[in-house]
C-alpha cells in the first residue's frame, strides 16, 4: 500500500523523525484504546504534542493508522528476507527451528503493532487490509514450504500441511496476542524452546492431530 501523507514541512528528515514518534506513541495508545475509540486529544496526549504540531506533519487521524499499517507490512517483508537468507542451506527441522525463533523474537519486538493490526482488521478498507493479508499469507507459505520439505525428506509426517502451518503460526503469534498470560509462565527463550519442542514432537510422530488441535489453545 502506497501512502501519501500531507505535511507542511519541507525537511524530510524532520518529517520522518516526527512521524516515527507519532507512530510509536499512537501504536501504544491503540493497544489500550482502539483507533476508532481514541480521540484526537488522546493521540495528542500520548504523543506529547499540540494539535498544530501533530497536524503539521500528518494530514489526519486516518493518516496515523495508515502509517502503522505501512510500517507493519514493511517490517514483515524485512523479516521474511532475513529468514530466507538464514534457512537457505538448512534442512527442514533446522529451518523450522530458525523460523520459530526469528518470528517469535520479531513478535516480541513488534508486539504492540501486531495487536493493533489484529484489532483493526475488521475496520480496514479493502486497500488497507490486503497488504496485511499478504503478510499473513507469506507467513503461512513460508511455514508450509518447510513442512513439505520435511515430508519429502521423511523428517515429518503431516496429513494437512496447510492447517499445520496455520497452527504453528498461531503459536508464534500467541507470544504477542496472549502475552498477558504466557509471560507469567515463560521467558521468551523458554517459550521458543517449548514451542519448537512441542511442534517437532507432534509432526515427527503419527499423532498429527495433537498439533492441529493446538490451534484452539493459541488463539
Top CATH class of 12-63 equals: mainly alpha
Instruction: Give the pLDDT band (50/70/90) at residue 217.
Output: very low
**Predicted confidence (pLDDT) at residue 209 exceeds the cutoff of 70:** no
User: Average pLDDT for residues 67-76, to the nearest whole number?
Assistant: 93
Ranges of each domain in the chain = 12-63, 69-218
Please indicate whether the domains covering 12-63 and 69-218 agree at the CATH topology level: no
Phi, psi dihedral angles at 116 (to 5 degrees)? -60, -45
The pTM is what?
A: 0.84
d(CA 146, CA 152): 10
pLDDT tens-digit series, residues 101-152: 999 999 999 999 999 999 988 888 888 889 999 999 999 999 999 999 999 9
- How confident is the model at residue 8, as a pLDDT? 87
Burial environment of residue 29 by CB neighbours within 10 A (0 to 12, 13 to 18, 19 or more): buried
Looking at 3.40.250.10, 1.10.1200.30, 1.10.357.10, 1.10.10.60, the CATH number of the domain 69-218 comes to 1.10.357.10
- How confident is the model at residue 124, as a pLDDT? 87
Torsion of Cα atoms, 67 then 68 then 71 then 77, to 10°: -130
User: Average pLDDT for residues 87-98, to the nearest whole number?
Assistant: 94
- Residue pair 149/171 in contact by the 8 Å Cβ criterion: no
Instruction: Give the pLDDT band (50/70/90) at residue 2.
Output: low
- How confident is the model at residue 215, as a pLDDT? 40
d(CA 128, CA 117): 10
**Predicted confidence (pLDDT) at residue 31 exceeds the cutoff of 70:** yes
**Predicted confidence (pLDDT) at residue 54 exceeds the cutoff of 60:** yes
Instruction: Give the pLDDT band (50/70/90) at residue 56.
Output: very high
- How confident is the model at residue 125, as a pLDDT? 87
**Predicted confidence (pLDDT) at residue 212 exceeds the cutoff of 50:** no
- How confident is the model at residue 65, as a pLDDT? 93
d(CA 113, CA 109): 9
Q: How many residues does the chain have?
A: 219
Torsion of Cα atoms, 119 then 123 then 129 then 135, to 10°: 10
Which residue in 183, 35, 60, 39 sits closest to 111, CA to CA?
A: 183
d(CA 211, CA 143): 14
Instruction: Give the pLDDT band (50/70/90) at residue 205.
Output: low
**Predicted confidence (pLDDT) at residue 17 exceeds the cutoff of 80:** yes
- How confident is the model at residue 7, as a pLDDT? 82
**What's the mean pLDDT when you consider all of the chain?**
89
d(CA 132, CA 76): 9
Phi, psi dihedral angles at 200 (to 5 degrees)? -70, -35
**Predicted confidence (pLDDT) at residue 200 exceeds the cutoff of 50:** yes
Amino acid at each position: 500500500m502506497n501512502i501519501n501523507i500531507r505535511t507542511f514541512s519541507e525537511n524530510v528528515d524532520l518529517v520522518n523523525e516526527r512521524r516515527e514518534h507519532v507512530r510509536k506513541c499512537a501504536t501504544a495508545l491503540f493497544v489500550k484504546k482502539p483507533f476508532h475509540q481514541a480521540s484526537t486529544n488522546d493521540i495528542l496526549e500520548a504523543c506529547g504534542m499540540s494539535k498544530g504540531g501533530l497536524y503539521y506533519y500528518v494530514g489526519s487521524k486516518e493518516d496515523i493508522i495508515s502509517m502503522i499499517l505501512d510500517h507493519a507490512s514493511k517490517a514483515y517483508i524485512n523479516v521474511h528476507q532475513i529468514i530466507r537468507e538464514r534457512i537457505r542451506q538448512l534442512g527442514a527441522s533446522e529451518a523450522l527451528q530458525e523460523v520459530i525463533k526469528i518470528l517469535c523474537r520479531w513478535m516480541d519486538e513488534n508486539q504492540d503493532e501486531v495487536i493493533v493490526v489484529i484489532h483493526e482488521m475488521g475496520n480496514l478498507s479493502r486497500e488497507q487490509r490486503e497488504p496485511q493479508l499478504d503478510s499473513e499469507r507469506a507467513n503461512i507459505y513460508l511455514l508450509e514450504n518447510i513442512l513439505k520439505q520435511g515430508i519429502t525428506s521423511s523428517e515429518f509426517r503431516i496429513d494437512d500441511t496447510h492447517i499445520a502451518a496455520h497452527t504453528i503460526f498461531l503459536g508464534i503469534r500467541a507470544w504477542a496476542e496472549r502475552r498477558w498470560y504466557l509471560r507469567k509462565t515463560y521467558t521468551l527463550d523458554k517459550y521458543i524452546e517449548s514451542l519448537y519442542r512441542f511442534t517437532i514432537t507432534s509432526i515427527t510422530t503419527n499423532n498429527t492431530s495433537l498439533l492441529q488441535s493446538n490451534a484452539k489453545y493459541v488463539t
